[in-house]
Copies of this chain bind each other. A is one copy, B any other.
């Protein structure tokens, strides 16, 4: 085996892995736990054996999809940490996460059904995203664009709650946008003089 041949095979293997993950993200995002690994192989144009060589179990495949997704979102959040408008960065990323959630939630639920996140790698990637959102929140608060008496736990709980609401098939996009308008008004720095308690 030549060195060049070995490298070419490694490059092919990486390309296969990436294509499998792309397809799996799409297939499991739409179908959740009911989608099959066979369908992923077929749509990725590889044999089922190739899928299993990269991902020995359905749980391993789902976990890899979720980790890549959390990592990508974390990188997007981190890229916003040096923008000139910390408020727009925070609220914009909040909106982006909610819009992205419909498929992320289906994949997370499918992973639970498939046996879960054994070694905690998906949980670690999720915690990384949460930290990046915390950094965006902190920056928006220091800029006076988010009220300074809220903390990450309640903000993240709202993010998850509104994401799950948006992922529900009965909630249309317009209502979902108005839900976020209410939440964002509640996070804004100048608080109302009356009501609300």
Contacts and interface: CB of A to CB of B under 8 A. Distances in A.
Contact of A195 (B145, B157, B197): B145
Contacts of A188: 191-192, 194-196
A151 B177 CA distance: 12
Interface string A168-197: 000100011011011111111111111111
Interface in A132-165: 140, 144-147, 150-151, 153-155, 157-158, 160-162, 164-165
A183 B184 contact: no
A29 interface: no
A87 interface: yes
A55 interface: no
A157 B178 CA distance: 10
B154 A175 contact: yes
A68 to B, nearest CB: 24
B150 A195 contact: no
B165 A160 contact: yes
Q: How many copies does the complex hold?
A: 2
B186 A161 contact: no
Looking at chain A's contact residues, the main secondary structure is helix
A153 B175 contact: yes
A186 B182 contact: yes
A91 interface: yes
B187 A196 contact: yes
Interface of A: 87, 91, 140, 144-147, 150-151, 153-155, 157-158, 160-162, 164-165, 171, 175-176, 178-179, 181-197
19 contacts: A87-B194, A145-B194, A145-B195, A147-B185, A150-B178, A154-B178, A155-B182, A157-B175, A157-B176, A158-B182, A158-B183, A160-B165, A161-B162, A182-B187, A183-B183, A185-B187, A188-B191, A188-B195, A190-B192
